[in-house]
Amino acid sequence: MEKIIKKSAMVFTLFCLSFSSLFANEKVNTFGSEKEAKQMLERAIRIVESNPTVAFAMINVGQGGFHVKDLYPFCVDNKGIMVAHPTLAGTDMSNFVSSDGVKVAQLMLQNAKANTLSKISYKLGRIVSTPNGLPRPSKKESKKISFYKKVGNYVCATGFHPSS
């Protein structure tokens, strides 16, 4: 019986150590990386190409892995209307200018190509999750790099905030 208790205690200790290291890594990696942003965009593009209506619905509500850490895809139509975004769907972005003077949607619409991954840099607040899991924009702005590509009649993008 004593051997079983010791073995159980050892297994429990190893479980706790591995579980705590998982959370320790999670605290360090709370923001998305460039690689993760590109992967999310490529996945979003495949779904938009297959069924834009379903893709936009998934993006808008953050389902299907489309709101991970501070990463999310977004899409604008050829008039600059945000058709997919966790907080701005339906918003006319055609005249949006970031706080550092970048005409984000306008430049993306002008420069997007179907077979080329382009990028743009501007200042913007992160989209963070509230305790109940709903997305909300942060008031603190930082540099954001968005990768974007033309997908049919849309331009889809995913951005990340590089470490300062």
Give the closest residue to 143 by CA, choosing from 119, 117, 118, 163. Answer: 163
Q: How confident is the model over 27-83, as pLDDT tens digits? A: 445 789 999 999 999 999 999 999 999 999 999 998 888 988 889 999 999 999 999
What is the pTM for the complete model shown? 0.77
Residue 141 Rama label (left phi>0; alpha psi -120 to 50; beta): beta
Alpha helices in 70-153 (DSSP H): 104-111
CA angle 159–41–78, rounded 5-degree value: 85
Q: Token match 């579980």: residue? A: 19
Q: Note whether 92 and 78 are within 8 A (CB).
A: no
- As a whole number of angstroms, the distance between CA 163 and CA 33 comes to 9
What span, in angstroms and rounded, lies between the C-alpha atoms of 160 and 4?
49
19 pLDDT higher than 50? no
Tens-digit pLDDT profile for residues 82-110: 999 988 999 999 999 999 999 999 999 99
CA distances from 35 to 12, 32, 60, 112 (A): 35, 8, 22, 20
| pLDDT digit string, tens, across residues 107-157 | 999 999 999 999 999 998 776 666 666 666 677 888 999 999 999 999 999
- Alpha-carbon gap, residue 10 to 130, rounded angstroms: 37
